[in-house]
Chain A
Amino acid sequence: MDYLHDINAFLPGVIVALAGLVTITIDAYKNDHGSIYGLTVFSLLAGLILSVMDMFGPVGEAFTGMITYGGVSAFGSSVVLFGALFCVLISREYLSAIDHEYGEVYSLLLIATAGMLGLVSANNLIMIFIGIETMSICLYVLAGIIKGQKIGAEASLKYFLLGAFSTGFLLYGMALLYGATGSLYLTEIAEGASSDLLFIAGAALLLVGFFFKVSAVPFHMWTPDVYQGTPTTITAYMATASKSAAFVALLIVLSKMIPAETANWAGVIEVIAILTMVMGNLIAIVQDNIKRMLAYSSIAHAGYLLVGLAAGTPEGYSAVLFYLFAYTIMNIGAFGVVAYYERQQGLDFTDINNYVGLGFKKPLMGVLLSFFLFSLVGIPPFVGFVGKYLIFAAAINAGYIALAVILALASAASVYYYLRPMVYMYFKDPHKDVPLVRSGIVFRSTLVVLAALTLYFGIAFGDLHNLLSSFYTADWVTHLVGQ
């Protein structure tokens, strides 16, 4: 085995994992959050640069076919590292403001990111399982770092129990698939695919496990409670990086492993997508807590993404990848602004009623929140519109007219709850004067960069879209030829 080639193929993951171990050691010897934070940012940035470069490089396999590099994997790694980097950048100020900055937070974030990198480049069911577990165990802990509140302990415990339960489904599905086909490699499973009960049951259980992780509707119960109880910047990490990782893995599994001819999963995903879009948007409308609102909105976005997967065409897959990137940018931004308001003493700023009249007091934050929420709605100059449009077009071209119509209607319904905070901020008078603290320079500029990216990729999306479709079609061809 050529170890150097293998390590080079998984270099972002190796860097992030090493940084995780080093930060644990630093934390053990001295209580120095500054150097831990610096190392975390540096390693994530290095990983991000490497995986972006990898996107333009060749496609191949490493570690005896355990992982793939280049193409979809590289893009997935980039999205995960992008999400992790920006969440870490806004985390420091927020966590020290709420007095919960610990060195372990960064170590766990790094190790979770390493697990996600394994997950998005997985080419083997064992790799998928280990990746999901590494990611989830770190997130269970991170969900419960605010110990003074019951809501934090509830989030952690609920997430842990339901996550462990869903892992059972996932693992059982993998065992059945192995029994049916005699292999754990995705491509070999696709070759041994048949429509006998063992294979179908295995695939179904595997999908149930994935639906738990991406919080699609019948399996979404944990999402609002967990998102509410977790510190807001960590919630941003959960909602973006971990969800993107799970979605990329689901996309890889569906496109590589379960051929549409043998198992007609498109119908299943169609039903789940409709349920997810409708339920997510309807329940989000009645939420008064902004974090719960964003949690239900993330469920709704999972529904839009499932529409792209249901289409099952290369066009649909590349649309899903683009949407994941768009979703990561705008959701970190939205959670970041909420984290800023939440830091203020005196009022509970997760309650939407306390946002009245804030828009003019700190104009920058108000404008930023409007940017991100407009993008989440999917209004033209922003990146959210492009993502939604691509998925919509893919669904139409694949013949799923009903899905496309429901997507459009659900987005229209989402306008209400996304614009509600803005109405409160700009068109209502404050009932109480709250002094707002000034945010730090890193925090502010991170959010400004994110807002700029929403606008940039909303206008100049062509290059990225071409890149995604090009390497996806290249992948697709190699897949059809049979590696």
Chain B
Amino acid sequence: MITYIFVFLAVLAVASALAMVISKNTVNSALFLVLNMVSLAGLFLLLKAQFLAVIQILVYAGAIMVLFLFVIMLLNVEDEESLFSRFRVKYFVAFLVGIAVFSQLLYSIGSFSEMLPEVAPEMTEAGTVEAVGEVLYSQYLLPFHIIALLLTAAVNGALMIAQHKIKPGASND
């Protein structure tokens, strides 16, 4: 069962990455990227890295993708028709079914049933959210606080780039 899920997720990850690159419509590309990240999160889950899986969804599929779509909508408005009209649900369902069939084929032809190694028990322990918290707030205390500093600097720097008016007199190029 786990092997089957792995093969399915792996094929899904590769196929959605390819679809992202091939797709001409930028919004579709972004949505395929979401799919890719979700399947990666599933792969992390199979490796018993729960924290990583949650972060993958929370930060990448959530925040980063929102930014991507945001930029696409801001920059690429000239082709409104193609943004909305070409995406058909049936194509998407066909995509998913095709992947399911392909991974089923791979699974049966390749006889992968013994392919996946067992995840070691200590790795099972290490990937949980509690375990990450335990080292993050004791052993990695200093990096943890420097990260807060880094994030503050990022806010500060982003606002500084945006804030000040362009000084016309200073230009000499």
Direct contact of A and B (CB under 8 A): yes
Question: Which residues of A line the B interface, CB within 8 A?
Answer: 1, 6, 10, 17, 20-21, 24, 63-64, 66-67, 98-100, 102, 104-105, 107-108, 111-112, 114-115, 118, 126-127, 130-131, 133-134, 137-138, 140-141, 144-151, 156, 348
- By beta carbon, the residue of chain B nearest A150 is B173
Q: How far is the CA of A137 from the CA of B157 in the complex (A)?
A: 8
Which residues of chain A are near B157, meaning CB under 8 Å? 104, 108, 137-138, 140-141
Q: A63-B141, A146-B170 are in contact. Are A141 and B149 (CB under 8 A)?
A: no
Q: A98-B170, A138-B157, A141-B157 are in contact. Are A21 and B150 (CB under 8 A)?
A: no
B170 contacts A99, C-beta separation under 8 Å: yes
Q: How large is the interface on B (under 10, 10 to 19, 20 to 34, 35 or more residues)?
A: 20 to 34
Partner-contacting stretch, out of B10-18, B72-80, B95-103, B159-167: B159-167
A148 contacts B168, C-beta separation under 8 Å: yes
Q: How far is the CA of A114 from the CA of B172 in the complex (A)?
A: 34
Pick the 10 closest A-B CB pairs, nearest first: A141-B157, A104-B160, A148-B171, A63-B142, A111-B153, A134-B150, A130-B143, A148-B166, A147-B166, A148-B170
Q: How far is the CA of A17 from the CA of B152 in the complex (A)?
A: 11
Q: How far is the CA of A94 from the CA of B141 in the complex (A)?
A: 38
Minimum CB–CB distance for A430 against chain B, Å: 20
B67 within 8 A of A: no
B167 contacts A99, C-beta separation under 8 Å: yes
Which residues of chain B are near A141, meaning CB under 8 Å? 153, 156-158, 160-161
Q: How far is the CA of A374 from the CA of B142 in the complex (A)?
A: 42
Q: How far is the CA of A99 from the CA of B160 in the complex (A)?
A: 15
B170 contacts A100, C-beta separation under 8 Å: yes
B111 within 8 A of A: no
A130 contacts B147, C-beta separation under 8 Å: yes
A144 contacts B142, C-beta separation under 8 Å: no
* Cross-interface CB contact of B146 among A98, A102, A134, A148, cutoff 8 Å: A134
* Cross-interface CB contact of B154 among A10, A105, A137, cutoff 8 Å: A137
Q: How far is the CA of A24 from the CA of B142 in the complex (A)?
A: 21
B112 within 8 A of A: no
Minimum CB–CB distance for B26 against chain A, Å: 20
* Cross-interface CB contact of B142 among A21, A99, A111, A118, cutoff 8 Å: A118
- By beta carbon, the residue of chain A nearest B173 is A149
B85 within 8 A of A: no
B87 within 8 A of A: no
Minimum CB–CB distance for A191 against chain B, Å: 18
For window 117-169 of chain B, which residues contact chain A by CB distance below 8 Å?
Answer: 138-143, 146-147, 149-150, 152-154, 156-161, 164, 166-169
Q: How far is the CA of A394 from the CA of B105 in the complex (A)?
A: 64
B143 contacts A126, C-beta separation under 8 Å: yes
Which residues of chain B are near A104, meaning CB under 8 Å? 156-157, 159-160
- By beta carbon, the residue of chain A nearest B147 is A130
A115 contacts B150, C-beta separation under 8 Å: yes
B160 contacts A21, C-beta separation under 8 Å: no
Q: A17-B149, A98-B170, A111-B152 are in contact. Are A10 and B160 (CB under 8 A)?
A: no
Apart from A108-B160, A140-B157, A146-B170, list 4 A-B contacts with CB within 8 A: A10-B142, A115-B146, A127-B143, A137-B150
Which residues of chain A are near B152, meaning CB under 8 Å? 21, 24, 111
B139 contacts A108, C-beta separation under 8 Å: no
Q: A148-B168, A149-B170, A149-B171 are in contact. Are A66 and B150 (CB under 8 A)?
A: no
Q: A99-B170, A104-B157, A145-B160 are in contact. Are A114 and B141 (CB under 8 A)?
A: no
Q: A134-B153, A137-B150 are in contact. Are A64 and B138 (CB under 8 A)?
A: yes
- By beta carbon, the residue of chain A nearest B157 is A141
Residue-wise interface mask of B (66-98) relative to A, using a CB-CB cutoff of 8 A (1 in contact, 0 not): 000000000000000000000000000000000
Q: How far is the CA of A107 from the CA of B159 in the complex (A)?
A: 13
Which residues of chain B are near A115, meaning CB under 8 Å? 146, 149-150
Which residues of chain A are near B166, meaning CB under 8 Å? 147-148
Q: A145-B160, A146-B170, A148-B171 are in contact. Are A134 and B142 (CB under 8 A)?
A: no
Among the interface residues B139, B153, B160, B168, which one has the most CB atoms of the partner chain A within 10 A? B153
A137 contacts B153, C-beta separation under 8 Å: yes
Q: How far is the CA of A118 from the CA of B153 in the complex (A)?
A: 15
B146 contacts A130, C-beta separation under 8 Å: yes
Minimum CB–CB distance for B147 against chain A, Å: 6
Q: How far is the CA of A126 from the CA of B159 in the complex (A)?
A: 28
Q: How far is the CA of A140 from the CA of B157 in the complex (A)?
A: 9
* Cross-interface CB contact of A118 among B138, B146, B161, cutoff 8 Å: B146
A67 contacts B170, C-beta separation under 8 Å: no
Which residues of chain A are near B149, meaning CB under 8 Å? 17, 20-21, 111, 114-115, 134
Which residues of chain A are near B167, meaning CB under 8 Å? 99-100, 147-148
Q: How far is the CA of A482 from the CA of B154 in the complex (A)?
A: 39
